Structure 1
């Protein structure tokens, strides 16, 4: 039986990063997250799989943008993507094997919504700012200002608080 509460996360202006490609993907993520929350016990596993499929493409897209604009492959943003996807996949495996029931997915959905809001407003916001600063077009992959790329690879998430000092 699905909960009768409001979705953990709803799209709002605070999540908008002024980068349409990223914002559209984030809206879709939030919609899929809500479908998991609203799902019945009989349908939650399929909605979870749909969320995983979206998240693989979503994170892969951001990881490609980072690679194209001088983020190191081991940066903390990419690492968070890997950890979250591993967690989503493992939860799916545990439910499919019968080791856990739908309650696990419901709990993780709440935690995922909380994590995502923080991630979008910090790491994704820093990435969106970086992409705008270097003139990167996420749709075409064109780089209008290659001279604005950093001289060294970005090791952190791109924010001043996380980047490795030079």
Structure 2
């Protein structure tokens, strides 16, 4: 994937995260926005930001899990299990935050920012490809802007 996250910086959406299945791209943009809000929230704004992230993750993962089940996506078990593990962590951290542990909440934001690009690149990209093929009859088309190429032109 062309998108990456710099350690210690809030994650921000860019076209490198696009996978070509529009419903998934929309929910992923919302996810990035929720994680950014958590990473940037002042201490007194952490609980509302965390609550928004919990609500988003529950809906996001349920929707992707439903897509995988309804379309008989072959690699769904690993993907569903990863969603369950992340959601469990999100719920546990929310409880710790309410008990006053701000540090673990801040760490969760950074960990999610580091986790998402790889998850999207490996697991979600396969699902996006599958969904495009099943619903549209072809491969996803992705138009990316303002990305720096890893390949330099020859002189």
TM above 0.5, yes or no, is yes
Query: Higher helix fraction: Structure 1 or Structure 2?
Result: 2
Structure 1: runs of 5 or more not aligned: 137-143, 146-166
Moved over 2 A (4+): 71-74
Q: Could you tell me which residue of structure 2 aligns to residue 33 of structure 1?
A: 35
Q: Deviations over 1:31-67 (max 9, x none)?
A: 1111111111111122011101001000000000001
Q: Could you tell me which residue of structure 2 aligns to residue 121 of structure 1?
A: 121
Structure 2: runs of 5 or more not aligned: 1-7, 139-155
Q: CA RMSD in A?
A: 2.0
- Structure 1 length as normaliser, TM-score? 0.73
Q: Could you tell me which residue of structure 2 aligns to residue 156 of structure 1?
A: none
Q: Deviations over 1:98-145 (max 9, x none)?
A: 4xx211111111011111111011100000001112226xxxxxxx79
Q: Deviations over 1:47-105 (max 9, x none)?
A: 0111010010000000000011113797000000000000000011112134xx21111
**How many residue pairs get matched?**
131
CA distance in 2, matches of 1:17, 1:120: 8
- Kept in 2, the 8 Å contact 1:37–1:109? The answer is yes
Matches within 5 A, 1:1-166: 6-7=9-10, 9-71=11-73, 75-98=77-100, 101-135=101-135
